[in-house]
Every structure is written in C-alpha cells, then in structure tokens.
C-alpha cells in the first residue's frame, strides 16, 4: 500500500456526502476507500485491488458552531456570518492530516483550511458564510 507524504484532496460521494477516498494532486492518482457506518466488514476488492474499509461512526448532524466530536469523521457547520469553528476531537494531534471539504453550496464560503492541534482542529473558511455551511471532515493519523 503506497504512503502519501504530501497534502491530498478528499473525495466525497455527492449523493450521500460520505468520504470515499483521496486524490494525490501531484500524480493525480485516486485512492478509494469503502465507507461503512459502523459494524465489521471484510476486506473488499475494488477494480481488482484490495481496498481498505474505513469503519466510521460519524456525527452528521452539522449543528452550527464550535463542537466536540471524537469520531474520526463527521459533518460540522460554520454558522451564518461566521468564518471559522473549532472542532474538539480527542483523535487530533498537531501532526494529524485533516481532510475537510465544503458540502453546502454557500454564496461566499467556498473552501476551508484546517489547522490541527493536540485535541482539536480549527476549520477556517475563505470568507464569512452567507448561511449555515456544512463541512465534512476526516482525521487521519
């Protein structure tokens, strides 16, 4: 299994808003995962290659504002007129890779950056949101 040593982009299913993989922006290689919400699942074969099964018990409520969510993946929301939120997460470290993507079509907030730290991460939008804007995230250590 290759190891990614640079920032990657998250790939999300636009119907279910589930995380499904990562895209290496340099090589344009896509790495897919099967996402199951809870339970135990055997290894899967995708396109003749074994895939990792990422089992996620995720909070997907997307309540606006700072939140505590100790799941490896979830959906949070920046409130209207807000630009940043803090997600308190016991899985987070300063070395964590947190993939985050905007999943709400907002008029101004189109992308987010993430600053991970021990026990939390801060998601900051490119602009203040015009309405409640949901963000899907995945913490990888």
Give the pLDDT confidence of 64-117 residue by residue, as tens digits.
999 998 888 888 999 999 999 999 999 889 999 898 989 889 999 999 999 999
Residue 141 CA to residue 132 CA, distance in Å, equals: 29
Within 10 A of 34 (CB to CB), how many other CB atoms are there? 16
Statement: residue 43 has pLDDT above 70: no
Give the pLDDT confidence of 49-61 residue by residue, as tens digits.
554 444 455 555 6
pTM for the model: 0.64
Cα 117 vs. chain centroid, distance in angstroms? 16
Q: What are the structural domains of the chain?
A: 9-55 (no CATH), 67-140 (2.60.120)
Statement: residue 35 has pLDDT above 80: no
Identify which of 13, 12, 9 has the alpha carbon closest to the alpha carbon of residue 26: 9
| Pair of tokens at residue 34 | 């099967």
Q: How confident is the model at residue 1 (pLDDT cuts 50, 70, 90)?
A: very low
Residue 28 CA to residue 9 CA, distance in Å, equals: 10
Length of the chain: 141
Q: How confident is the model at residue 128 (pLDDT cuts 50, 70, 90)?
A: very high
pLDDT, average across residues 111-124? 95
Statement: residue 138 has pLDDT above 80: yes
pLDDT of residue 115: 94
> Residue with structure tokens 């995380």?
19
Identify which of 76, 82, 81 has the alpha carbon closest to the alpha carbon of residue 63: 76
User: Would you say 58 and 71 are in contact if contact means Cβ atoms under 8 Å apart?
Assistant: yes
State the chain's mean pLDDT as an integer. 75
């Amino acid at each position: 299994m290759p190891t990614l040593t640079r920032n990657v982009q998250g790939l999300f299913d636009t119907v279910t808003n589930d995380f499904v993989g990562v895209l290496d922006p340099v090589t344009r290689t896509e790495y897919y995962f099967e996402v199951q919400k809870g339970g135990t699942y055997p290894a899967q074969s995708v396109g003749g290659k074994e895939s990792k099964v990422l089992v996620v018990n995720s909070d997907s409520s997307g309540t606006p504002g700072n939140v505590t969510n100790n799941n490896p993946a979830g959906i949070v929301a920046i409130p209207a007129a807000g630009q940043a939120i803090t997600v308190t997460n016991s899985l987070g470290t300063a070395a964590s890779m947190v993939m985050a993507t905007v999943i709400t079509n907002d008029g101004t907030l189109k992308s987010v950056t993430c600053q991970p730290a021990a026990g939390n991460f801060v998601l900051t939008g490119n602009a203040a949101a015009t309405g409640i804007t949901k963000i899907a995230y995945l913490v990888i250590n």
